[in-house]
């Protein structure tokens, strides 16, 4: 949908982008690259003081580094790689960000030798442990339509024993699924990533960035956008969007802003366009320290409030409550650890058989919190000194009592989280030598899996909601056929869809690569399942 031709007498159209995450940053790049919009006519409003949204990376070796998460990519992130191919590397003349990812993954490829740990030992041989009934239930899930699965959870579709299989330990921790999440999402994931199944036990086929995603992706993107004159407003919350509906359709006519406690109104006129990121998986994240747990997270936050306000007025904006009303079921907790000596890394490299950065997630199946850790390739931060070592972990069930601390993870300080980890590794007295002096930053994310909650038709707004003339919805909570949420690709694909639809310029996104339609892929997947892993 093109919002109308531009005439030479028209004032230049301004493009307002709500949110400073990758969905908005990708929109800005595509407006410049594909639609010929001058960067100075693009304004990005971000409520926090940092751009990049969930793609974060912060801290120092002394205070400890922080990443809320680490991103796994895979080769069919077509929109993401197309986008990254347009942004020059900050490190190597002549390379772009896609080249950098290709180069890094040629140097450091993933093949885990220790995906699961049970009773302090690696699980070997590692098998899926699926029964004939589990396979039949999987088959049934795959053949049902999304309409038939509306509002149903994964536990509605599988026997309770499925959730104790090593397949589920691996699947749920790789992608952060809970048994109560939506069956529609699991079905999409099974179909979207079926080509990964033969290497799944070893996490093969996963691609990573050289540094954390703020340093590897967001920094060079921000440099490029700044060079093109894009204007960033951090510390600016968009509290509302005024709309009018007439025979012509639905238009945003003003944005209401809150900047340092002061309300402002921005008029949207002529051929201006608005791109709205609605909802956020990292909204209201809270941080703890070595000695304190993260504060109990509060519900709400700017990203959810704007969506709720719009949806309360017009059903084309879907139902944010489906995703954001139950933080007890959408939260989990991660932790970032900075060490000043290599002892723990050396221990884990010997224990797993993987050099840091080549193994990926290690999950402790006995852990009540369902703890997993990842040792990144070092350095993981651009300014990380040689004597600093950074790893990350998370617990999918932070409300349960830990096996060794006896406390809910959400109530544990960073030191207590390390005590729990040391217990699962059976470190005993060596734990002080290996982990002593660590800086730990726990991070509670109340909305981290909100995108996965059971949903039905109309819960997610379309990228171009019905009747929309001058605006689009981008990010994790709009509807895109076939693709899967909790990915960077989904946000970038939404941006590409929105820019093409609103401006009529550039190309629409390529279709999602349907490897589940490829007989050879299906044969390999079926063989893997029947072999048991
Ligand atoms: C722990 C973790 C692990 C992950 N693992 C992977 C992975 O392995 N692979 C993968 O591909 N992806 C992964 N992801 C997902 C990926 O990071 C996200 O899908 C993606 O970054 C979302 O980008 P976004 O721009 O759509 O939304 P967000 O990152 O949520 O950004 C939205 C931004 O908009 C701002 N905002 C929203 N509303 C307003 C408003 N009204 N006013 C002002 N500002 C507003 C918010 O403050 C936020 O900064 C992971 C994410 C996390 C947190």
Assess contact for 470 and 15: CB atoms under 8 A.
Answer: no
Q: Is the beta carbon of 498 within 6 A of some atom in ligand 1?
A: no
Query: What is the four-CA torsion angle of 58, 60, 62, 66, rounded to 10 degrees?
Result: 20
* Beta-sheet strand order (sheet of 249-259): 236-246, 249-259, 262-267
User: Distance, CA 53 to ligand 1 centroid (Å)?
Assistant: 5
Q: Is the beta carbon of 475 within 6 A of some atom in ligand 1?
A: yes
Q: What is the mean pLDDT of residues 100-109?
A: 96
Give nearest CA residue, ligand 1 atom 27: 21
Q: Does the pLDDT at position 470 exceed 70?
A: yes
| pLDDT one-digit tens code per residue, 424-468 | 999 999 999 999 999 999 999 999 999 999 999 999 999 999 999
User: In this structure, are strands 42-46 and 15-18 parallel, antiparallel, or unpaired?
Assistant: parallel
Region of 523 (left: φ > 0; alpha: ψ -120 to 50; beta: rest) is alpha
| pLDDT one-digit tens code per residue, 253-287 | 999 999 999 999 999 998 999 999 999 999 999 99
Listed in order, strand segments (DSSP E) in 376-511 are: 389-395, 439-445, 471-474
The b-or-e profile of 446-460 (16+ CB within 10 A means b, else e) is bbbbbbbbbbbeebb
Q: Which residue has the tokens 């959730």?
A: 163
Mean model confidence pLDDT for the chain: 96
Binned at pLDDT 50, 70 and 90, residue 9 comes out as low
Tokens of 308: 């709720």
Q: Is the beta carbon of 488 within 6 A of some atom in ligand 1?
A: yes
- pLDDT, residue 4, reads 45
- pLDDT, residue 8, reads 54
At 519 the three-state DSSP class reads: helix
- pLDDT, residue 3, reads 46
| pLDDT one-digit tens code per residue, 43-66 | 999 999 999 999 999 999 999 999
- pLDDT, residue 498, reads 98
- pLDDT, residue 282, reads 98
Distance CA 333, CA 234 (A): 26
Tokens of 185: 């999402």
| pLDDT one-digit tens code per residue, 117-127 | 999 999 999 99
| pLDDT one-digit tens code per residue, 512-531 | 999 999 999 999 999 999 99
| Pocket residue to mutate for ligand 1, from 16, 23, 51, 53, most atoms within 8 A of Cβ | 53
Distance CA 208, CA 102 (A): 9
Q: Which residue has the tokens 């209201």?
A: 284
Diameter of the chain by CA atoms? 76
Tokens of 2: 């093109």
| Pocket residue to mutate for ligand 1, from 185, 278, 303, most atoms within 8 A of Cβ | 303
Distance CA 18, CA 238 (A): 7
Q: In the 3-class helix/strand/coil scheme, how is 143-157 assigned residue by residue?
A: HCCCCCCCCCEHHHC
Question: Which ligand 1 atom sits closest to the C-alpha of 72?
Answer: 8
| pLDDT one-digit tens code per residue, 126-181 | 999 999 999 999 999 999 999 999 999 999 999 999 999 999 999 999 999 999 99
Give nearest CA residue, ligand 1 atom 25: 21
Tokens of 319: 């139902």
Tokens of 126: 């590692």
Q: Is the beta carbon of 114 within 6 A of some atom in ligand 1?
A: no
Distance CA 218, CA 24 (A): 12
Q: Does the pLDDT at position 328 exceed 60?
A: yes
How distant, in Å, are the alpha carbons of 85, 161, 235, 344, 440 from that of 462?
27, 37, 28, 47, 40
Q: Vertex 71, ends 70 and 75: CA angle to 5°? A: 155
Q: Does the pLDDT at position 1 exceed 70?
A: no
- pLDDT, residue 5, reads 44
Assess contact for 455 and 323: CB atoms under 8 A.
Answer: yes
Give nearest CA residue, ligand 1 atom 45: 19
Mention every residue, 6+ apart, whose C-beta is less than 8 A from residue 228. 32, 38, 39
How distant, in Å, are the alpha carbons of 34, 92, 94, 96, 109 from that of 89?
20, 6, 8, 5, 20
Binned at pLDDT 50, 70 and 90, residue 7 comes out as low
Q: Vertex 248, ends 245 and 249: CA angle to 5°? A: 45
User: Distance, CA 347 to ligand 1 centroid (Å)?
Assistant: 33
Assess contact for 79 and 492: CB atoms under 8 A.
Answer: yes
How distant, in Å, are the alpha carbons of 30, 221, 412, 506 from that of 86?
10, 9, 43, 14
User: Distance, CA 492 to ligand 1 centroid (Å)?
Assistant: 11
How distant, in Å, are the alpha carbons of 27, 78, 315, 482 from that of 491?
9, 12, 22, 13
Distance CA 334, CA 320 (A): 24
| pLDDT one-digit tens code per residue, 284-310 | 999 999 999 999 999 999 999 999 999
Distance CA 403, CA 225 (A): 48
Distance CA 481, CA 180 (A): 22
Distance CA 15, CA 28 (A): 9
Distance CA 75, CA 207 (A): 7
Q: Is the beta carbon of 379 within 6 A of some atom in ligand 1?
A: no
| pLDDT one-digit tens code per residue, 17-28 | 999 999 999 999
| pLDDT one-digit tens code per residue, 217-235 | 999 999 999 999 999 999 9
Question: Which ligand 1 atom sits closest to the C-alpha of 303?
Answer: 38
Q: In the 3-class helix/strand/coil scheme, how is 169-229 assigned residue by residue?
A: HHHHHHHCCCCCCEHHHHHHHHHHCHHHHHHHHHCCCCECCCCCHHHHHHHHHHHHHHHCC
Q: Vertex 416, ends 411 and 418: CA angle to 5°? A: 130
Bridge partners (DSSP) of residue 286 are 444
User: Distance, CA 22 to ligand 1 centroid (Å)?
Assistant: 7
Tokens of 257: 């802003």
| pLDDT one-digit tens code per residue, 363-407 | 999 999 999 999 999 999 999 999 999 999 999 999 999 999 999
Q: Does the pLDDT at position 6 exceed 90?
A: no
Q: Is the beta carbon of 396 within 6 A of some atom in ligand 1?
A: no
Q: Which residue has the tokens 């509605």?
A: 156
Mention every residue, 6+ apart, whose C-beta is less than 8 A from residue 295. 286, 288, 444
User: Distance, CA 57 to ligand 1 centroid (Å)?
Assistant: 13
| Pocket residue to mutate for ligand 1, from 71, 490, 496, most atoms within 8 A of Cβ | 71
User: Distance, CA 446 to ligand 1 centroid (Å)?
Assistant: 13
Question: Which ligand 1 atom sits closest to the C-alpha of 307?
Answer: 41
Distance CA 277, CA 251 (A): 16
Give nearest CA residue, ligand 1 atom 1: 69
């Amino acid at each position: 949908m093109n919002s109308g031709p531009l005439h030479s007498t028209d004032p230049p159209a301004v493009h307002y982008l709500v949110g400073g995450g990758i969905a908005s940053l990708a929109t800005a790049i595509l407006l410049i690259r594909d639609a010929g919009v001058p960067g100075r006519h693009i304004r990005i409003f971000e409520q926090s003081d940092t751009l990049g949204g969930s793609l974060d990376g912060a801290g120092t070796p002394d205070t400890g580094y922080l990443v809320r998460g680490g991103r796994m990519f895979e080769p069919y992130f077509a929109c993401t790689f197309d986008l990254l191919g347009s942004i020059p590397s900050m490190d190597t003349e002549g390379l772009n960000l896609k080249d950098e990812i290709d180069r890094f993954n040629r140097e450091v490829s993933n093949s885990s030798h220790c995906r699961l740990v049970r009773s302090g030992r690696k699980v070997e041989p590692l098998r899926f442990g699926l029964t004939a009934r589990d396979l039949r239930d999987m088959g049934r899930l795959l053949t049902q339509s999304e309409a038939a699965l509306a509002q149903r959870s994964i536990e509605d579709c599988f026997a309770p024993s499925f959730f104790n299989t090593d397949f589920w330990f691996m699947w749920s921790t790789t992608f952060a699924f809970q048994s109560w999440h939506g069956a529609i999402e699991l079905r999409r994931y099974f179909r979207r990533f079926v080509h990964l199944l033969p290497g799944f036990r070893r996490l093969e086929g996963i691609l990573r960035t050289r540094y954390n995603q703020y340093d590897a992706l967001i920094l060079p993107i921000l440099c490029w956008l700044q060079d093109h004159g894009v204007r960033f407003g951090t510390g600016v919350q968009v509290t509302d969007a005024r709309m009018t509906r007439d025979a012509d359709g639905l238009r945003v006519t003003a944005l209401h802003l809150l900047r340092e406690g002061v309300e402002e109104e921005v008029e949207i006129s002529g051929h201006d366009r608005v791109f709205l990121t609605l909802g956020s998986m990292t909204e209201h994240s809270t941080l703890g320290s070595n000695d304190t747990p993260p504060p109990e997270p509060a519900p709400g936050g700017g990203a959810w409030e704007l969506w709720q306000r719009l949806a309360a007025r017009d059903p084309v904006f879907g139902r944010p409550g489906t995703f954001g009303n139950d933080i007890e079921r959408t939260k989990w907790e991660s932790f970032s650890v900075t060490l000043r000596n290599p002892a723990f890394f050396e221990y884990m490299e010997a224990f797993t058989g993987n050099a840091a950065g080549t193994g990926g997630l290690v999950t402790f199946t006995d852990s009540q919190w369902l703890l997993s850790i990842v040792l990144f390739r070092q350095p993981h931060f651009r300014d990380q000194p040689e004597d600093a070592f950074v790893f990350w972990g998370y617990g999918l069930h932070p409300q349960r009592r830990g096996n060794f601390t006896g406390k809910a993870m959400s109530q544990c300080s960073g030191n207590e989280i390390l005590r729990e980890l040391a217990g699962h590794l059976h470190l005993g007295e060596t734990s002080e030598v290996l982990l002593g002096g660590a800086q730990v930053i726990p991070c509670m994310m109340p909305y981290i899996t909100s995108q996965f909650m059971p949903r039905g038709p109309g819960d997610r707004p379309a990228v171009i909601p019905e009747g929309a003339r001058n605006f689009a919805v981008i990010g994790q909570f709009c509807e895109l056929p076939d693709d899967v949420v909790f990915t960077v690709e989904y946000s970038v694909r939404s941006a590409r869809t929105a820019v093409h639809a609103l401006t009529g310029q550039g190309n629409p996104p390529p279709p999602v690569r349907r490897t589940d339609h490829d007989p050879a892929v299906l044969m390999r997947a079926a063989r893997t399942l029947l072999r048991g892993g």
